[in-house]
């Protein structure tokens, strides 16, 4: 009789304990792998949110703050950029395109972004992908809106839907621009970026809905400007929240950045999105290391658990060992039996752990996409993950060798003389 079926049957005999050991190993492995996968996936999702933009310009604050509110629509701006400055920038001979962004309003928890046609023409994300429409077209009329894929999915909107924009960025707002409803004219194909969670309108529309507002409140009846009358008025905005810039030549990047940062007219900040993303991740990186350390410790605890389970079983299995010896098993067989048991339990635990990682990601994906508009990819197993798994198996083998060695020595000494 070979050793393996014997080991399997012996384990089956102790299936409750073995099952729990496998579970504890699975949890520890899943924790370590999930931490790694999540940080990797989140990093690449964040990094692919913006590409091809050379500079982002906003009011002077922190570089990460500017990146977060302009691109990820997280948090809010402390101040705006004046419209004349935007016009100067857009006309600058070294600037190829300048996309104005106006944020601050929302629709049922989704941010509303006021921008112009350049956004649909020049915005790039991921590997130089541009915005494409799943249905409809870019806004043409003043009260046209274009929605992201996640907005369309969550709220069940299609082209032709009438929507009302709320004042402020909260998920519940009591001040609505109900007098000037918008028509959804397009749905943007899924991008896996915050675009999916955004309602896009024109800059003029943002101006129009605020025409008759005074200090954050709708004007009293009688002083209101109707949706039709608003069309006749000057809808040039006073300011925008941020500007995305594409340059004719990358060579000018730092020169333009410096002249914006040193601009005396108003306090402005120009950032390089790629470099700022990297800065952001270097901060998040510390948290990542802490989480990984916790993951490693829990994995070590899982190994100890395995060791304890086998060591504890040794006493009750003296009889089993004795019988094995009596039917001709050598001490070396006993050793191999226990090591293979440890390796088997560890391998099974790892397998379940990997499955749990997929499960965790499957649960987190829709949540992350809904909250941040970022699309996490399925696990991309790297050599590091493989090394972690191999390392774990090696550690399990070594851990299994401890009780195996004990049983080996004992089987030599007390073999069949055991008293029952």
Partner 1 sequence: MSRGKRTLFVTLLCATATCAAAEDEMFEDHHAHEHGVATLNVAVDASRLALQFRSPAMNLVGFEHRPRTAQDQAAVSQALEWLRDPAGQFQPSAEASCRVVKSEVTPPDWEDPSGHSEFAADYEFDCQKQAALQHLYVRLLEHLEAETKIEAQVAAPDGQHSTELTRANTRLVLRKPVR
Q: How far is the CB of 338 from partner 1 (least distance, A)?
A: 44
Q: In the complex with partner 1, which residue's Cβ is closer, 133 or 263?
A: 263
Q: In the complex with partner 1, which residue's Cβ is closer, 281 or 358?
A: 281
Give the burial string for 308-320 (b: 16+ CB within 10 Å, else e): ebbeebbeebbeb
Q: How far is the CB of 192 from partner 1 (least distance, A)?
A: 17
Strand partners, 114: 102, 201
Q: How far is the CB of 391 from partner 1 (least distance, A)?
A: 24
Q: How far is the CB of 116 from partner 1 (least distance, A)?
A: 24
Angle at 143 between CA 141 and CA 145, to 5 degrees: 95
Are the CB atoms for 101 and 115 separated by under 8 Å? yes
Q: In the complex with partner 1, which residue's Cβ is closer, 41 or 411?
A: 41
In 48-158, which residue ranges form alpha helices assigned H by DSSP? 63-71, 83-91, 117-122, 149-155
Q: How far is the CB of 8 from partner 1 (least distance, A)?
A: 45
Residues that bind partner 1 (CB under 8 A): 43, 47, 51, 54, 60, 78-79, 249-255, 261, 264, 267, 272-275, 278-279, 281
Q: In the complex with partner 1, which residue's Cβ is closer, 162 or 214?
A: 214
Please tell me the distance from the alpha carbon of residue 176 to that of residue 165, in angstroms, as a whole number: 6
Q: In the complex with partner 1, which residue's Cβ is closer, 222 or 265?
A: 265
Q: In the complex with partner 1, which residue's Cβ is closer, 79 or 394?
A: 79
Please tell me the distance from the alpha carbon of residue 251 to that of residue 261, in angstroms, as a whole number: 17
DSSP letter assigned to residue 109: T
Q: How far is the CB of 278 from partner 1 (least distance, A)?
A: 6
Q: In the complex with partner 1, which residue's Cβ is closer, 272 or 303?
A: 272
Angle at 329 between CA 328 and CA 335, to 5 degrees: 165
Separation of first and last alpha carbons in the chain? 26
Q: How far is the CB of 267 from partner 1 (least distance, A)?
A: 5
Neighbours of 397 (CB within 10 A): 15
Please tell me the distance from the alpha carbon of residue 204 to that of residue 390, in angstroms, as a whole number: 59
Are the CB atoms for 193 and 145 separated by under 8 Å? no
């Amino acid at each position: 009789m070979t050793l393996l079926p014997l080991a399997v049957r012996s384990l089956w005999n102790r299936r409750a304990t073995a099952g729990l050991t496998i579970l504890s190993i699975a949890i520890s492995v899943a924790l370590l792998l999930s931490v790694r996968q999540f940080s990797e996936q989140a990093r690449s999702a964040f990094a692919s949110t913006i590409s091809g933009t050379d500079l982002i310009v906003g009011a002077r604050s922190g570089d990460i703050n500017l990146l977060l509110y302009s691109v990820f629509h997280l948090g809010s701006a402390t101040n705006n950029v004046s419209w004349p400055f935007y016009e100067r920038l857009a006309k600058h001979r070294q600037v190829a395109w300048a996309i104005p962004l106006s944020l601050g309003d929302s629709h049922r928890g989704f941010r509303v972004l006021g921008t112009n046609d350049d956004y649909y023409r020049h915005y790039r994300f991921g590997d130089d992908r541009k915005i494409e429409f799943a249905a409809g077209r870019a806004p043409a009329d003043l009260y046209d809106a274009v929605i992201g894929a996640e907005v369309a999915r969550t709220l069940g909107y299609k082209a032709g839907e009438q929507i009302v924009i709320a004042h402020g960025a909260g998920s519940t707002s009591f001040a609505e621009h109900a007098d000037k409803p918008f028509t959804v004219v397009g749905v943007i194909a899924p991008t896996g970026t915050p675009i999916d969670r955004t309602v896009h309108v024109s800059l003029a529309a943002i101006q129009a809905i605020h025409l008759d507002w005074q200090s954050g409140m709708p004007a009293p009846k009688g002083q209101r400007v109707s949706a039709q009358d608003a069309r006749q008025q000057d809808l040039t905005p006073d300011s925008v929240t941020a500007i995305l810039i594409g340059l004719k030549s990358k060579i000018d990047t730092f020169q333009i950045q410096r002249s914006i940062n040193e601009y005396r007219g108003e306090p402005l900040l120009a950032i390089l999105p790629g470099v700022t993303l990297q800065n952001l991740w270097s901060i998040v990186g510390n948290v990542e290391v802490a989480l990984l350390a916790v993951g490693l410790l829990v994995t070590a605890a899982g190994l100890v658990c395995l060791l304890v389970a086998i060591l504890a079983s040794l006493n009750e299995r003296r009889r089993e060992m004795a019988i094995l010896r009596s039917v001709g098993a050598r001490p070396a067989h006993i050793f191999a039996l226990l090591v293979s048991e440890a390796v088997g339990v560890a391998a099974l635990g790892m397998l379940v752990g990997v499955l749990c990682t997929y499960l965790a990601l499957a649960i987190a994906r829709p949540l992350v996409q809904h909250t941040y508009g970022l699309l996490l990819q399925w696990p991309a197993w790297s050599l590091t993950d493989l090394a972690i798994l191999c390392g774990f198996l090696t550690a399990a083998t070594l851990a299994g060798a401890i009780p195996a060695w004990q049983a080996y020595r004992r089987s030599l000494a007390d073999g069949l003389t055991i008293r029952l």
